[in-house]
Structure 1
Amino acid sequence: MPPYRKFIFICYGSDCKKAGCKKLQSEIKHLVQSHEHKGKYKLIKTKCMDFCKSAPLVVINNEVLKRAELSVVKKKL
């Protein structure tokens, strides 16, 4: 049986796109594909999650990361 993978949700609403979610998603993708995290996480793009004032938004392990940055995401993995 394959190991359980955790989900990382990245908001792709219009405000999050303006705030740089595409670049953040690319950085997280490279991080998740690294040897240390390979196969443990799955990235999921979502539509607007109604946290537009605090974009970009990432959800990891049921924790909402407002104004997410790669350094914060690394700490949560």
Structure 2
Amino acid sequence: MATYRKFVFVCTGSDCKRNGCKSFLKEVKNLVKMDSHKGKYKIVKTKCMDFCKSGPIAVYNNEVIKNGSIEELRGKF
């Protein structure tokens, strides 16, 4: 089993699904698969994180990334 150093939690609750979490999750997966990030991150799909009005949501390094901002997440890597 591979060793991961960092976790990225992505909400897949019903409100986030309505706000486009599937496309956001796809973008996060593409970001993690890049050569410079390969094998360093693990994506964890979660249920509701109680940020329903500002979804889709990701949590990385104890920071909440709201509104599916892949640019903000990319800046944290």
Residues 22-52 of structure 1, C-alpha deviation per residue, up to 9 Å, x if partnerless? 1111111011011010011000000001110
Structure 2: 5+ residue stretches without partners: none
Residues 3-39 of structure 1, C-alpha deviation per residue, up to 9 Å, x if partnerless? 6510000001111001111111111101101101001
Give the aligned length.
Answer: 76
Confirm whether residue 22 of structure 1 aligns to residue 10 of structure 2: no
Q: Which runs of 4+ in 1 moved over 2 A?
A: none
Structure 1: 5+ residue stretches without partners: none
Q: Give the whole-Å Cα distance in 2 for the aligned partners of 1:36 and 1:68.
A: 22
Aligned-pair identity in percent equals: 55
Question: Aligned-residue CA RMSD in angstroms?
Answer: 1.3
